[in-house]
Structure 1
Amino acid sequence: MWCLFRSHGPSPVSPAKLLYSNRRLILTRHHRTRQPNYKTHAQSSQDAAHDLDVLRKFKVTHVLNVAYGVANPFPHLLHYRTVTLLDLPDTDITSYFPEGCAFIEEARAEEGVVLVHCNAGVSRSSSMVIGYLMTRERLAFNDAFSQVKAARPSICPNPGFLLQLKNYNPQASTSS
């Protein structure tokens, strides 16, 4: 299932449009108030990340790979950042948010489309997208989680990631 949703800053947003496919991917569109163009981010499993037709169809320009042991198949066509994360409850996922958020912001500055993927598209990539929404869009955990869950019902951050996200305070980590 492909899902699109739009965010206007800190307020919760409902899904705007659904597209169906044999691949699973979340596309999140961010609108800047004085500009009519949209910035697009995506979250998926490694399957979509290895399907060049899908990547081209959705004009993906940047890929944030948060999987373990998954190669970046198109380095000559796309900009990649690999952040190797283990899907273990004791992995400190929040320590990887600055690097992931910075890469997404770089892509946005270039008017790019970002795909965030892990192995199954359930725990690591969803946690990274939730962390991004909490950090850059200043959403509370429940709002960020709800937006991602509404767009991709199969998300399920592992218990350790879930606890870290609930306790994550991006304002505290940026001010120190």
Structure 2
Amino acid sequence: MSLSSLLQAKKKDLKHCNTIVTNMLGEKYKIIDNEVKLIDKGLPFVVDTKPDLQVALAAPRLYFGSQDPVVNIDILQRYKIRHVISIGITVEVRFKEICYYSVDLLDVPESSIFNTLKTCFSIIKSNQHENIFVHCNAGVSRSASVIIAYLMVTENLSYDKAYQRVKSVRQCIKPNDGFVRQLKALKISDFSSV
């Protein structure tokens, strides 16, 4: 049996599948008969269906997670949080004994994280003797990326080691592909003041 006939025979055994792509606007497309068709218009972000109140300790006095603990004063007091860094979202509920910082960053692979990291590292360094909570919407991509980068820079860790350490304290982390590429290419020397 020739290689060509073997491949043809194996091809018949393959299960048919469809590829669905979701763009930044939440539009879902499916390829049907070599034609791209819009199949659904959804939201361009993950919708929280239940509160995620996990507060993960990444380094001494440095916590991270989703936006949900930020509006819960009992949690903030339990962890003695004095500073909250919000990445890519605005916190509407604020408590007077806590300092708040907002840093812009879209959770899309095309976003550059360099300036966000510089800003966050500066805030963390300026407040390193008090507990800090870094968060984004879901505590999965943006805040996890900042924490991974912080560990890479301050502890001279490789991306893989920093990622594993952060994942060990918060299992759901998953920086988007663009952030991962940027973190792997991160030059620690660019952050020498941290």
Aligned in 2, Cα 1:135/1:102: closer, same or farther, shift over 3 Å? same
| Alignment size in residue pairs | 143
CA contact (8 A) 1:62 1:114 kept: yes
Counterpart Cα distance in 1 of 2:167 and 2:160: 10
CA contact (8 A) 1:130 1:141 kept: yes
Q: TM-score, normalised by structure 1?
A: 0.75
Q: Which residue of 1 aligns with 2:102?
A: 82
Match of 2:74 among 38, 45, 53: 53
Deviations 1:50-105 (A, max 9, x none): 1111001110001111033x225225221111102110101001221111011111
Q: Which residue of 1 aligns with 2:150?
A: 132
CA contact (8 A) 2:58 2:147 kept: no
Counterpart Cα distance in 2 of 1:24 and 1:165: 24
Structure 2: unaligned runs, 5 residues or longer: 1-51
Note if 1:23 corresponds to 2:60. no
Counterpart Cα distance in 2 of 1:89 and 1:52: 33
Counterpart Cα distance in 1 of 2:139 and 2:175: 10
Note if 1:42 corresponds to 2:63. yes
Structure 1: unaligned runs, 5 residues or longer: 1-21, 31-39
RMSD: 1.9
**Larger Rg belongs to:** 2
Counterpart Cα distance in 2 of 1:75 and 1:91: 30
Counterpart Cα distance in 1 of 2:54 and 2:164: 18
Counterpart Cα distance in 2 of 1:106 and 1:174: 15
Aligned counterparts, 1:95-174, within 5 A: 95-108=115-128, 111-172=129-190, 174=192
Q: Which amino acid aligns with 2:81?
A: V
Higher relative contact order (CA 8 A, sep 6+): 1
Q: Which residue of 2 aligns with 1:94?
A: 114
Counterpart Cα distance in 2 of 1:138 and 1:78: 30
Q: TM-score, normalised by structure 2?
A: 0.68
